[in-house]
């Protein structure tokens, strides 16, 4: 009788302990042998979930995995860097990766999985949700507690606080809302995983076309100059915006109108359906400021706008606005910054 009571007590305490113990798997994103900066913001968000081990999963071709894992191992406060070297994961195909992540979660009973809300994370995590029967939470901007998160909805026109009742929380994070952790100091254990499910390939990676640029990456740049329909054509866009960006050391962004009109590459679009940025300075040139565009930049620290229409909605969010013809004002600005 006494023995049975003790045993049941022990069972209770162990299960309570297990329920409380939080453990997080962060998915590392990398491409072309480079660690994606969003991963460092994802680790930052993982730290905010509460006390508990934080492991980072690095999957890909062997050479990439070795170099990416050794970089991540320098991040302070991680428990383990888990590697899976298999060419099936080299190009981040979600069909293979989701099965791997789900197998890792099941084998190690993670309570949380965190990934950057980039094209990669958004492609992958919902598929993992299907495999684990969990409703994922997209693009969070704040961690309230281990099961409660804040995320923008309606193109950032409303901010929702949601509480997940799922036993596992699958979260993608908005990188601009979480300061990146530093790659320095630590030497976390790197361990190869034995949980590779090796699912057969159902899709094939064919090719990629990456816009080459010497300028800072749009998603993480401290300064962004962004051009819109007011630039009129591609030649103007290049003649006006490129020197300004170079004078400031800024990344180039664009409105949907500019992208649709072919002034620059699609991947430079800032907004609800493009990139969401929050730089120190966002300088908008010839952009009216439609709600879909504002969704992608209104959390910037300082917003400046140059537009000849004094009634443009962009001036409602701009800290400093200059009502002027951009073809005169921008070259003047560029030369005065350089001076």
Site for other proteins in 246-275 (CB under 8 A): 248, 256, 260, 265-267, 272-273, 275
CA distances from 217 to 18, 22, 318 (A): 41, 33, 23
Instruction: Give the C-alpha separation, 307 to 315, whole Å.
Output: 9
What is the sign, positive or negative, of the torsion defined by CA atoms of 71, 72, 75, 78? negative
Q: Is 198 annotated to bind ligand?
A: no
Cα–Cα nearest to 145, from 22, 26, 18, 13: 22
Residue 306 binds to other proteins (criterion: CB under 8 A): yes
Inter-helix orientation angle 234-248/326-338, to 10°: 30
Nearer to other proteins, 45 or 259 (CB): 259
Member of 9, 33, 153, 186 binding other proteins (CB under 8 A)? 153
Residue 230 binds to other proteins (criterion: CB under 8 A): no
**Helix or strand or coil: residue 46?**
helix
From residue 89 to residue 108, the character string flagging contacts with other proteins as x (rule: CB under 8 A) and all else as - is --x-xxx--x----------
Nearest-Å Rg of the Cα atoms of the chain is: 23
Residue 324 binds to other proteins (criterion: CB under 8 A): yes
Nearest distance, CB of residue 111 and other proteins, angstroms: 15
Taking a C-beta distance cutoff of 8 angstroms, is the pair 282, 303 a contact?
A: yes
Within 18-77, the residues that bind other proteins by CB under 8 A are 36
Q: Is 223 exposed, middle or buried (0-12, 13-18, 19+ CB in 10 A)?
A: middle
Residue 205 binds to other proteins (criterion: CB under 8 A): yes
Nearer to other proteins, 80 or 256 (CB): 256
Nearest distance, CB of residue 270 and other proteins, angstroms: 13
Residue given tokens 């030369």 in the structure block: 335
Nearer to other proteins, 16 or 302 (CB): 302
Nearest distance, CB of residue 245 and other proteins, angstroms: 14
Binding piece for other proteins, criterion CB under 8 A, among 2-10, 44-52, 177-185, 326-334: 326-334
Residue 160 binds to other proteins (criterion: CB under 8 A): yes
Member of 11, 87, 135, 145 binding other proteins (CB under 8 A)? 135
Instruction: Give the C-alpha separation, 334 to 339, whole Å.
Output: 9
């Amino acid at each position: 009788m006494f023995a049975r009571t003790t045993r049941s007590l022990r069972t209770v305490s162990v299960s309570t302990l297990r329920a409380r113990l939080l453990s997080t798997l962060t998915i590392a994103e990398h491409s072309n042998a480079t660690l994606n900066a969003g991963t460092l913001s994802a680790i930052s968000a993982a730290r905010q979930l509460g006390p508990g081990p934080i492991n980072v999963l690095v999957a890909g071709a062997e050479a990439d995995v070795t170099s990416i894992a050794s970089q991540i191992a320098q991040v302070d406060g991680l428990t383990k860097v888990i590697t899976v070297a298999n060419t099936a994961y080299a190009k981040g195909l979600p069909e293979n990766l989701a099965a791997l992540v789900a197998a890792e979660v099941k084998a190690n009973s993670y309570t949380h999985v965190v990934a950057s809300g980039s094209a990669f994370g958004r492609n992958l995590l919902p598929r993992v949700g299907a495999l684990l029967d969990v409703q994922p939470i997209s693009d969070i901007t704040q961690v309230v507690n281990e099961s409660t998160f804040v995320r923008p909805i309606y193109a950032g026109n409303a901010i929702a606080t949601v509480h997940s009742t799922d036993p596992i929380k699958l979260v993608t994070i908005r990188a601009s809302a979480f300061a990146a952790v530093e790659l320095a100091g630590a030497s976390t254990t790197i361990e190869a995983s034995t949980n590779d499910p090796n699912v057969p390939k159902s899709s094939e990676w064919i090719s990629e076309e990456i816009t080459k640029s010497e300028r800072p990456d749009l998603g993480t740049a401290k300064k962004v100059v962004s051009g819109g329909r007011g630039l009129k054509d591609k030649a103007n866009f290049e003649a006006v915006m490129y020197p300004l960006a170079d004078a400031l050391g800024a990344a180039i962004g664009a409105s949907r109108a500019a992208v649709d009109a072919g002034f620059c590459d699609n991947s430079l679009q800032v907004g609800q359906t493009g990139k969401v940025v929050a730089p120190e300075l966002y300088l908008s040139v010839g952009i009216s400021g439609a709600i879909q565009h504002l969704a992608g930049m209104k959390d910037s620290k300082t917003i400046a706008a140059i537009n000849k229409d004094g009634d443009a909605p962009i001036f409602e969010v701009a800290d400093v606005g200059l009502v002027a013809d951009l073809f005169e004002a921008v070259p003047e600005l560029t030369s005065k910054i350089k001076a």
